[in-house]
């Protein structure tokens, strides 16, 4: 039963939970409202590998422009550099707003696929193809408004595919594997930044060629993952929805609402600490463009090493202990410490230390926090919609963080207040998360 390469869902008559001979752990995670149960078997290595590659492609094409291509594309002369920071913040804000809407909508529509139809694959495939097309358009855009409109399309495509792929965690994995799958998502985020920025910098690609490379990556890898990952037809028990069901019913769940609010605030803190990094090197530490690009890559490598380590370790620990809330709260405090370091000691060496702390904090937070969110899902019939909302909190952070950061830079004419705000918001996010009660394991 544990040797199948792919997980699958089997509809069984209502009866006591199935158990494995070795662990005697219940295999059923979500009782269906219709009186049927959904049994979930463990995913094999092949499923995990394809799932990880899907997220690696998504993070690469989403974060490489955020960290490198968009700041270079929108940078302005030294005597007017604040205008470039503001333009970059507004473009990222427009994209974040689009993702906020597109993610939950795509998830809700996929949840409501008719009986016998695929629920996740059409949205995953459509999202990656839309992302690829809009990346090409972004590369050829010249004016800030054109870049903003094209980036809006990229954000919509990423939100669509992210909602579909994220839903697979709750659809197809038992609770004892959700930490591992979330670790794949979190570590892929950091590796994706290194992969994307590293390819652009080391290959000496210009802005336009960088976007074309990213478009090719998501078109090939994303499409292959969408087609290879299993997507069983929706059973009838999961498509019978109450007519009077409120679209925001998940917010009425106290613990899910606290978790969402903490996740949102923490992601804003992370975006404040990372979205303007290139501008900080250029205008906060007064480095020339070539040096700033090289140092940005170095910082990202340091960040990535610690994200991957923290993601893997905390994912395993959370699966074994089940104490995801405590790990998530501690992670937010470590992330807050990174903002304090860089605000108190504005040097490149201190920035390296801050990058390591940010990697540990956000790596653990993104991994255990996502698994915690999957544990708290209120209704099995709305997995994709509700996890789409969870994913959108990161997009909302990308909306609010850069815009707020640009405003703080313009307010004080520097970057210190940005990192102080990042530390405060990260700590507040941990406090909010601590209010969510973990489910009984």
Note the pLDDT tens digit of each residue in 239-296.
544 444 555 555 667 888 888 888 889 989 988 877 777 888 988 888 888 888 888 8
Report pLDDT for 20.
37
pLDDT exceeds 60 at position 5: no
For residue 173, give the 3-state DSSP assignment: coil
Q: Which residues of 311-343 are buried (b: 16+ CB within 10 A; e: fewer)?
A: bbbbbebbbeebebbebbbbbbbbbbbbbbbbb
CB 214 within 8 A of CB 66: no
Note the pLDDT tens digit of each residue in 172-217.
777 777 777 777 787 787 788 788 988 998 888 888 999 999 999 9
For residue 38, give the 3-state DSSP assignment: strand
Note the pLDDT tens digit of each residue in 22-71.
333 333 344 333 333 344 567 678 888 999 999 999 989 988 898 788 88
- Mean local confidence (pLDDT), 340-352: 91
What residue spans of 203-323 are helical by DSSP H? 207-217, 223-228, 254-274, 277-279, 289-321
Report pLDDT for 47.
87
Note the pLDDT tens digit of each residue in 357-380.
998 998 899 888 888 887 887 766
Which range, of 276-280, 413-417, 434-438, averages the lowest pLDDT? 276-280
Closest CA to 43 of 182, 248, 145: 182
Q: What are phi and psi of 28, to 5 degrees?
A: -95, 130
Report pLDDT for 334.
95
């Amino acid at each position: 039963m544990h040797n199948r390469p792919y997980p699958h869902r089997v509809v069984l008559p209502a009866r006591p939970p199935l158990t494995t001979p070795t662990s005697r752990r219940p295999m059923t995670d979500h009782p269906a409202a219709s009186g049927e149960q959904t049994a979930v078997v463990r995913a094999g290595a092949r499923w995990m590998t394809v799932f990880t590659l899907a997220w690696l492609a998504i993070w690469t094409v989403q974060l490489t422009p955020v960290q490198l291509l968009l700041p270079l594309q929108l940078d302005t002369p030294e005597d007017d550099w604040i205008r470039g920071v503001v333009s970059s913040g507004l473009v990222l804000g427009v994209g974040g707003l689009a993702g906020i809407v597109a993610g939950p909508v795509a998830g809700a529509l996929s949840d409501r696929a008719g009986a016998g139809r695929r629920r996740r694959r059409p949205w995953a495939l459509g999202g990656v193809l839309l992302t690829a097309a809009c990346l090409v358009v972004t590369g050829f855009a010249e004016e800030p408004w054109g870049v903003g409109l094209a980036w809006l399309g990229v954000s919509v495509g990423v939100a669509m595919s992210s909602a579909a792929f994220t839903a697979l965690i709750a659809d197809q994995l038992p609770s004892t594997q959700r930490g591992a799958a979330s670790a794949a998502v979190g570590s892929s985020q950091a590796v994706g930044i290194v992969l994307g920025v590293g390819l652009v910098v080391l290959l000496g690609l210009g802005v336009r060629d960088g976007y074309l490379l990213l478009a090719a990556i998501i078109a090939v890898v994303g499409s292959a993952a969408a087609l290879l990952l299993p997507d069983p037809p929706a059973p009838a028990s999961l498509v019978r929805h109450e007519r009077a069901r409120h679209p925001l019913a998940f917010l009425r769940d106290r613990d899910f609402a606290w978790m969402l609010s903490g996740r949102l605030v923490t992601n804003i803190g992370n975006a404040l600490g990372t979205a303007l990094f290139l501008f900080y090197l250029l205008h906060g530490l007064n480095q020339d463009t070539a040096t700033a690009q090289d140092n940005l890559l170095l910082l990202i490598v340091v960040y990535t090493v610690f994200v991957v380590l923290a993601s893997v370790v905390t994912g395993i620990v959370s699966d074994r202990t089940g104490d995801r809330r405590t790990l998530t709260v501690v992670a937010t405090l470590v992330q807050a410490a990174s903002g304090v370091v860089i605000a108190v000691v504005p040097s490149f060496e201190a920035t390296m230390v801050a990058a390591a702390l940010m990697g540990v904090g956000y790596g653990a937070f993104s991994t255990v926090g996502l698994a915690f969110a999957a544990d708290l899902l209120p209704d099995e019939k709305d997995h994709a919609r509700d996890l789409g909302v969870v994913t959108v909190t990161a997009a909302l952070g990308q909306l609010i963080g850069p815009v707020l950061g640009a405003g703080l830079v313009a307010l004080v004419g520097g970057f210190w207040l940005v990192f102080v705000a990042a530390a405060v918001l990260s700590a507040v996010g941990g406090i909010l998360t601590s209010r969510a009660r973990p489910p009984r394991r």
